[in-house]
Structure 1
Amino acid sequence: MATGVVTRREPVTEPERGTGPQWHPAHRIIFRFGFLVVGIGMAGTWLLHTLLRTAGLPPETVNSVARWAALSPLSDWIGARVFGAEIDYTITGSGDTAAKWVGVFTLVLVAVPITAAWTVLDRRRTDYRRLAGAFRLLLRFALVSALMLYGMIKVLPTQMSFNLERLVEPFGHMSPMAVLWAQSSLSAPYEIALGAAEVTAALLLILPRTAGLGSVLAVLVGLQVLLVNLTFDVPVKLFAMQVLLYATILAAPELARIVRAVLGTAVPARPAETLLDSPRGNRRLLIAQALLGMWILAASIAEAYDGWHTYGSARPTSPLYGIWNVTEYTRDGEPVPALVDFTTQDSGLPVPTERFRRIIFDIPQGMTVQRLDDSLVSFPARVDTEQRMITLSRDTEHQWQLARFDYVRPQRDQLILTGTLGGKPVRMRLDLVDLAQFPAVARGFHWVQATPYYR
């Protein structure tokens, strides 16, 4: 009868689970601070905001979460006492509001004592390799959601959609951001290419095997976005810096490997990151990452498609679409000369004594007037094709009406408006401008050019 020796397996303690060298104390402190600020405060709240939005929660709920993430009311107090600014959380489309900047400042301040307490309470831990893996995973999917969102609204041209009024607005009247938007919207392939780079980086970041390549591409994309935001004064500078920071942290090991390879140093294969102990757990985590990535992709496509057909390049156009020159203008039966009336420029509203240079119909729910000084002012408008009536209002519900015109279109390129403006009878004759006269939209693409076409 064979006999065996029974051995007792000693339990593995936490310090013995680490396979690498101990982290330097300064390294550990920097990681704790970075995990709190960049991981939880920035990437974590952005990803939470994205998931709530794509899950279909009401905008009010999503905005309340964003306000909570900005550490209100502490940030309100800091804004008032430190910066002398009243914090307003109204959604304006700008990512560089005082609330955003003060929120980041408050986050950094709050993270300092928490990092100090964490350092004291967890001073015996020698490394945070497992938590660092979770940190990178969080950054990856925050980056996936950001790149997918901004990339998809370029692939389906929405972010920089073409506005008809830009063809007649003087270049000097446009802001740097308007110039950037106008030139990008004139070339759909260019805008699509920008978006395709962002979407490609996002897709590569979904799975760990391709995440390294995706992070490097994300750095290049993030640099380009931050550059144009800074140089054209686009109010998404703060978030662009955060996106570039996420990408740089993820790409740092890959960039170091690239540098070593360029210098001729042998670069071994990078070991796969595993967050869990069991192979089954890691497989399930990988499936969860793929599913989350597909969810973000599907939600981004749906959101971009809806925006593309609502306010992007596939949006509906006005029944009177076009740029119309005002060739005749009468008030009370008397012709109004084409002279600038400087007494009406401060009101921002059209008055019957002011003659217009052009009227622009672009989107169905609006109308833009170009004054004789070339300034533009837009109003909510409704074109009733059955009654052949145009209603111009202060509000989109048309409860505060400014003017009402009956219109006839004797020819395709001619429009007659008769009605009241400011309580006075007004009649206008409009002639449609041929858009082919604008090289910006009519020039097209040429492989062969005898001379540069520059005018």
Structure 2
Amino acid sequence: MVEPSVPAERWHPITRVLFRFGFVYLGVGTAGQWLVLALLRTFGAPHEWVVATWKWWALYPLNDWVAERVFGIETALSYAETGSGDTVAHWVSTFTWLVVSVLIAAVWSVLDRRRWEYVRLHGWLRLVVRFALVASLLLYGVIKVLPSQMTFALYRLVQPFGDMSPMSVLWSQTAASEPYEIVLGCAEVAAALLLLVPVTSTAGAVLAVVALAQVFLVNLAYDVPVKIFSFHLLVLAALLLVPEARRLAAAFAGKAVLARKAPPLLPSTRGTWALVAGQGLLGLWLVIATVMEGWDAWHLYGNAREKSPLYGIWNVTEYSIAGQAIPALVSTEPQPASPNLASERLRRIIFDTQHGIHVQRMDDSLLSLPATVDPDGRTVTVTRDLQGQWKLADLTFERPTPERLLLVGQLAGRSVRMHLELVSLDRFRQLNRGFHWVQEAPYLL
């Protein structure tokens, strides 16, 4: 059975040109890319595949040519995953996609100038945009609901506030209140779930715009390196609301609003039902896979992670190198960026996770180093790299009492001996202040 044809609309020429540009740039270059990458990730594709897919979707090698010829960038662009979405490669790729989209839209407008509307193609664009938003909002929402994006870290308790970057301040502020982080994630997850269902997709888009506007604002205000990504997410969510603008305005004005009727994306009833079923299965897969991914992250490096066997903040009370005691002299001069740990005294060692330690030097600067603690062999192994190929320290430990620790061994090729004392976490206001319904005055200490 074939659905009756819907009377063709007559779009304004400018609307048609803008749609062609938006379809290429936002549909293919942005939403399509994110959806494919999300599917590769959730289906467990090798990390190299994900990186290679993004590299070619970033229009490599054209992107490299633009970087060199247009922007004068002489070094090769890096497409490696660094956790930043604002790398040089990202910025150049954004520019390249903009130019390519303009050119394709221009050629498309000439070749297809007799086409009056793109109603059905617009429906497909909305479908891809919806699921790209669902995949992104689900991921970022779940890792807040199961806190693993902003996590509590012990070393923040002894890091001077002035040494923290704006992004570190934002991360620490959010991690300081787990319920607050969870509520932020719930808003993103709710928007994603509403976007999954066509009849609630408008409500989901409204909630997504509110949530993503806040995300984009803090990314700008705190210099978080996902400005390009969050801006485009916000644009995609707003794009879904453009056809609904008049209906939304009427609804907010308290007027009755009729449901918008969109033509089917496929001409047959059987095809339409198959598409609906496919959307349901895809949505269900994204939800299940993302929750599983978030659960693993929560237990691996989130707030549910296993703690180090020596968990705590340890003050170094005595320190000797090659049998010579090194006095605890607090330094006001900044230490070299690449420290020679073999010849300087340490102030604190923070054991938090099972995969690393933080070393605080006498000027209060912090070093993050990969490390493993073997409670059975009573050893602490510190390396310079995550692969453990460059060993920095090989120490044995004794713990005569729960509050005292002795570390002895080799550090940067020299014999060291350290006596450490555990700092009580109850002394930190951030942990002992608690919650109060009644307060006679603001507590700003």
TM-score class normalised by the smaller sequence: over 0.9
Q: In 2, are the aligned partners of 1:348 and 1:377 still within 8 Å (CA)? A: no
Q: How many Å separate the matches in 2 of 1:201 and 1:308? A: 21
Q: How many Å separate the matches in 2 of 1:120 and 1:423? A: 71
Q: How many Å separate the matches in 1 of 2:252 and 2:286? A: 36
Task: Show structure 2 runs of 5+ residues with no match.
Answer: none
1:49 corresponds to which of 12, 37, 42: 37
Deviations 1:358-403 (A, max 9, x none): 1100111211110111000021212121221212222234332222
1:419 aligns with 2:413: no
Compare 133-142 and 255-264 and name the one that shifted more. Answer: 255-264
Provide the TM-score with structure 1 as the length reference: 0.93
What are the equivalent positions in structure 2 for 1:234-245 lying under 5 Å apart?
A: 234-245=224-235
Q: How many Å separate the matches in 1 of 2:6 and 2:110? A: 21
Q: In 2, are the aligned partners of 1:151 and 1:196 still within 8 Å (CA)? A: yes
**Larger Rg, first or second structure (1 or 2):** 1
What are the equivalent positions in structure 2 for 1:21-32 lying under 5 Å apart?
A: 21-32=9-20
1:59 aligns with 2:47: yes
1:422–1:266 distance in 2 versus 1, CA, 3 Å: closer
Provide the TM-score with structure 2 as the length reference: 0.95
Structure 1 residue identity aligned to 2:16: R
1:39 corresponds to which of 19, 24, 27: 27
Q: How many Å separate the matches in 2 of 1:383 and 1:264? A: 63
Structure 1 residue identity aligned to 2:37: H
Q: In 2, are the aligned partners of 1:330 and 1:426 still within 8 Å (CA)? A: yes
- 1:109 is paired with a residue whose SS is helix
Matched with 2:223 is 233
Q: How many Å separate the matches in 1 of 2:172 and 2:417? A: 33
Matched with 1:75 is 63
Q: How many Å separate the matches in 2 of 1:423 and 1:40? A: 55
Compare 427-436 and 385-394 and name the one that shifted more. Answer: 385-394
Q: In 2, are the aligned partners of 1:356 and 1:370 still within 8 Å (CA)? A: yes
Q: How much identity, in percent, do the aligned residues show? A: 53
How far has the Cα of 1:287 moved from its partner? 1.6
1:145 aligns with 2:135: yes
How far has the Cα of 1:347 moved from its partner? 5.4
Q: How many residues align?
A: 441
Q: In 1, are the aligned partners of 2:335 and 2:363 still within 8 Å (CA)? A: no
Compare 202-211 and 334-343 and name the one that shifted more. Answer: 334-343
Structure 2 residue identity aligned to 1:61: W
Q: How many Å separate the matches in 1 of 2:337 and 2:219? A: 32
Structure 1 residue identity aligned to 2:161: F
- 1:318 is paired with a residue whose SS is strand
1:192 aligns with 2:193: no
Structure 2 residue identity aligned to 1:295: W
Compare 335-344 and 381-390 and name the one that shifted more. Answer: 335-344
How far has the Cα of 1:442 moved from its partner? 1.9
Q: In 2, are the aligned partners of 1:33 and 1:115 still within 8 Å (CA)? A: yes
Task: Show structure 1 runs of 5+ residues with no match.
Answer: 1-11
1:347–1:277 distance in 2 versus 1, CA, 3 Å: closer
Cα RMSD of the aligned pairs, angstroms, is: 1.9
What are the equivalent positions in structure 2 for 1:234-383 lying under 5 Å apart?
A: 234-263=224-253, 265-340=255-330, 345-346=335-336, 348-383=338-373
Q: In 1, are the aligned partners of 2:35 and 2:131 still within 8 Å (CA)? A: yes
Deviations 1:260-280 (A, max 9, x none): 234455433322552223333
Compare 20-29 and 233-242 and name the one that shifted more. Answer: 20-29
Q: In 2, are the aligned partners of 1:33 and 1:112 still within 8 Å (CA)? A: yes
